Structure 1
Amino acid sequence: MNIYCILLDWLTSAFKICTQTKDYITGIVSSENELKHLLESHKRASGTFYTVWSDDSQKKLKVTPRCLWQVEDYSEHIPLSVKRRVIYACQHGKNYKTQTTDDLHTEHEYTRRKMFHIQNSKKVDCPAKLYVRYVVRYDQFAVSKTCSRAKKQAAVKGVLESLKENTIITSEIIHVKIPLTEAHKNHNTSQNCHFSNNIHHMVRDKIQEYVSLGITSVPFLKKVLKTFVQKELSEMGSVLPHSEDPSYYSSSHVIQNYVHYALVSEKYSGFDQLLLEKKIDEWKLADPSAKFFFRKCTENDSDQTIPKFEVKTGDKGFPASEDSDLDDKDTQEMTLTQETFLFIHQNVQQQELLERYGDMVLLDATYRTTKYALPLFLVVVRTNVGYKPIAEFICENETTAAITEALNILKQWNQHWEPKYFMLDYSQQEYQALEYVFPNAQKYLCSFHREQAWKRWARQEVV
């Protein structure tokens, strides 16, 4: 049994107790901030998490408030109404998403994987629930403790009339009913249960904040988060976070996972795209002759003109076979490029190199050049002093449609560009894009990538 729940020393000073039983304790707080600190202290002391089971806030907005003289065990002889009620269920409560073999369609055969699961779910049908009621008090219609029923009815009538005229003065309190240790069933509520807790939302947000600043070092983040918990989170509530609680003191592996989630979530960050847009403006000022094309992700109303192109459904890409299904797929992709990210750059020096050495062109994509998983394409020519890039573009996905659009824009910038040969790696998307834009150019596969493709094909298992 949890010693904190017996002594109740986890209760905050702002919580005014109404009643207390073996299973529950009820009381009131004055503000949302006090409620936040109270629930935080309870979570640290009991080691339990709660999920929202019911919230009738939208329903309450559509109906006239009902006047009451008592909410649960709270009564001060003042008309009251509940504008919102939120019920939080224990994370080990009833599992509403279970699926049995009887729920599966009988017409389809299936095989169950023979895997040993230590625990299928955290749900063990715990009945404990935490109730939060947002109560509105109509203090100007207060009555005495020994008043008659008629006076109470007159007070209620006055409340309803004032609500219609919108002249009533109100105050708000929050009534809370908190389950104690005895209310929890079928699971442990001691300090040992901390080991299965998820990361705290404020710790997760702190990781997101540092990752957005470019800080991804796990050892550094671990030290910073420890200081954050001890100095800032410890002030919330009267109970300090347990030193072994992974929701506050996460392991390096958990921090690394959330760093990855933060990087992935920022892949299409509008903030970074705004910074890139400002950077392009700076580049244009430094080199007015350079050409840029930039389209933000999920933008429909771009001011830049995008060249149109047609896709011949009869042309077969790489490899040329009758069972290729790329025609319909690529045709559909062409209509989706207006929504995707695209960045293209070429300066005057690169245009001059393209005009002089543009007969033989190399096209290749590389990854892991930035924190985003976006392919960076380099268009390269061989000069008298080595290989030089004559254009660069970054697209959202390495698809035929995206590459075709970028190549068409480059072709529009260089009207006299008619390459004779293209060298590329073993990529169907690149091959088909070149077929659409430069159908007369001969395409060659890089020897290294060709041998690499052979080896991968030879190692494939025959099914």
Structure 2
Amino acid sequence: MVKECHHGPDKQRRAKERRKQKPTPGDHNYSRKGKSRKKIQDSKKQSCPAMIRIRAIMKFPDFKIDSYNNKFLKRQISRKLKQAFANRDPIKKSMVYLLSYPSANDHKNHLTGEFAGFTQRVDPKLVTRIKELVAEGVRNVSEMKRHLLISVKNDICPDQDIPKTNRRFFPLDKDIKNHMDIAINSLRFSKDDQLNLETLVESWQESNSEDSFFLRTSYDTTSQGDSPSQDFLFVHQTAWQRRLLDLYGRDICIMDATYKTSKYALPLFFICVQTNVGHSICGSFVLSTESKNAIQEGLKKIKEWNPGWTPKYFITDYDEREIQAVEEVFQECTVYLCSFHREQSWTRWLKQLKHGVGSNQDEIIELMRRIANANSETNYEEAVVKLKENQHWQNNQKLQKWFDKQWLSVSHRWVKALRQNNFNIRMTTTNGLERKHQEFKRGYLSHYSEGSLCTMITTLVSNFLPDSYRSYITYNIQSLEFCKKYSTSVPTFLHNRPRMLVEHCIKRIPPEVQNIPVENIQEIGERAFDVHSVDSNNVYKVMITNTEPTCTCEDYARHHLPSSKIKTDAGLPINTSDHHRSPLTLKRKAGSLPLRKKYRKKNVNHSVHFAENDDVMIIDGTYDMPCRQEMSIDSVNTTMEQSMANDTITEQMAECQSKDRPATVEILWTIKPFDYLVSKIGSFKVTDTSISYLKSSLSDEVIDAYLHLLTETKKNKRLLAIDSSIATAIFQGISENFHGFMTQTKFSSYDMILAAVNENNSHWTLIVIHPGDKKLVYINPLGELKRTMQNIGVKWREFILGRVRRGVNELSEDGWKVETVKHTKQYDSNSCGVYVVKFAELVISDMPLMFSCRPDNLHQIRRGIGNQLLQATEPLFEYCRACSLHREARRNEDWIGCEKCDKFFHSGCVGVSNFTCAMCTSLDQHLVNLEPDLRKDPPKIWYLKCKRSSRG
């Protein structure tokens, strides 16, 4: 065995030389975008002759010979040894290793000594340690570095003084970051964030059968017809959360959303209750859009898991969508506004200079607070009158309109006097839940920088919620006298009660007496008493009921906790700590979405392909979903997203006319086609007629343009898409005049070639050519026939032979084989083009050719194809939309534009100098016809917001 120096001979030298000899197109190859990076120092191999030689010798003492030069004895002993091995006899043996180490002088052509450590690779033990720590949740390079230093010092090289220049044991930050990224990717089940989440949810459901999970990815439809749209929805509730919701959630619940928990614009909603030891989260759901219907879906799912959950009140922010969603799901529930956010909203509005309040803010806001804190309807009306009599109010129309319309119109939600009497006003804000939000984001999510959806939900399910429940149990256990003995100053009836309740009651016990004398209590009815105060002449009425005690004192009205009067009566039904009902073992087994608005861009390059499921577009890279990281305009490897537009058709049509924005598929499907140019992808031009026909069939120009778009996606593969007319001519045996044997194309320079073939002028199929393997993969959506595959092989060999006869000798005609692969079958009569496009996307992504073929999913693919072609188009300002020719093709004609949109035409193509194009005219007509109906029920339109890199 020989171990060479890592600066030894370069065994890949010939392969590198062959790569360098390959011609690069163009005179300025350095300016091509998407080109692989150029390595200035491409190898550390320096042909060093130093090496370690190891020889292993096995000795058999029982088969020793005296004369080593006697060949006869050697053969005789050899036969005996082989026979002993054959008979499996016990044989004595010993191993001897001979090692030859090079000296420092044997190393040539490279650094030796202390600085040579910079060229070493990271020790495999450290790489393994990085993987272990990443799995435990370490995501910070500095933290990882501290762990590695401890491992080197205590485990790998104890009691050794290793110089810091040794990169093997003291890796650079860049090395640590790279290995952490590799470890993070290895923990994922899939590159697609949503597919990865699906796998995680399945594992959680198996390991936590009592917990409830619901996941609907944005590319998965769970129902048909008029069901909710395909928005992303994740709902989660544990068994202990259901128990706490049943115990504490029948009175008041809090709901609020938090944002920026991942790189996607996904609000995370928490449902929270106040327990005996503080606030506790009892349910959570993640939405793709913060709409009323989406919030309703999350609430209905939690209500489905908790059939007996009927809260009396909810506290939310001033958000009409949340309020309407809650009150429609819970018909008898009343929603009140958070007092803190109400005050915050007032302050922010009054501070704005454009509202004209100026230095009178304090005076106005004080009058508003009097309205909010009014104890009776009379006081409320007086406070409103006092505000409206104020001179600043009367002189400010904006203030009057804002406060009347936005606040007084919903005064029953925030005025104290207008709330129901049994509303527990000791909880009037969502601040407790806000603290939970901050704890989750700063204490848990801040350790993770990748911002993926799976990371956020995994942290929520596996870390944050179990820790929250552990705190709940801890606080309850700590209140028991078995944990710590109570002070003698605490009455016995307060023992084993929550600390919050004990502190509340201690503050209200009169200092002079520990108990109210019996003579101060007078029974006036069944479980009704008059209690005379020991430190005043006041008399309070106390009712001890089976549900909740009541008292007429102001302290009880404010806090809804026992006052000194209620504590005098026995049988007080207070919720004690329920730790005995809680399992103490909290161990858990580890297991397209809209981008946040500030990171959206209108431009994207042509790099697109579909994920295995249909409705989410992904691209090649670390993240297949839209990345929160802001991309530069010049970047080629940008990301596509299939976003859900909130515009109505009316707004889209109007915006399509007034801005430089391509029409969406929905618009072109709505109006009559005029054979106008709407997209140009490479040399392929797509008209609105082809987009209109996309609803039922795919034309050759759509397929050619889209396959060309796909070939620009995979930058790590060399791809070629043959025009469908040429491919059909090749494999259908049409005259060579159609293809000319493609003598200018070098097939061997491509890893994969895509060819869409129109068989019998009525059916699309896909042929994938692998020149390196001399293999053709034939994929027919309806299924493959053996004779067809044989005919394809014959036609291809004839085509290659024709190239050879014309001097193109890169590939020979022999050795080619035709195969097929397992794939989804077509079940209708008009979707073969959709299947071919989908198969092409999956093939170049090395994914199984399986996808959902339900009609609604096929419809989404058609829509996605059209929108990608429209959004990824090259600029069309220099092309006549009527004839599709360049402006310079007819120089003798004027270049005129539509008065309503950005389309330009040759004057000879339209015949007038001032005009409105036919598409805008049709849009105007549809605006008139659609607007009355859309005002009543505006539909949600789905379209792709694409990003395209400028190519300079």
Structure 1 length-normalised TM: 0.47
Identify the structure with bigger relative contact order (alpha carbons < 8 Å, sequence gap 6+). Answer: 1
Larger Rg over CA atoms = 2
Structure with greater helix percent = 2
Higher strand share: 1
Q: Given the two structures, how large is their TM-score scaled by the length of structure 2?
A: 0.25
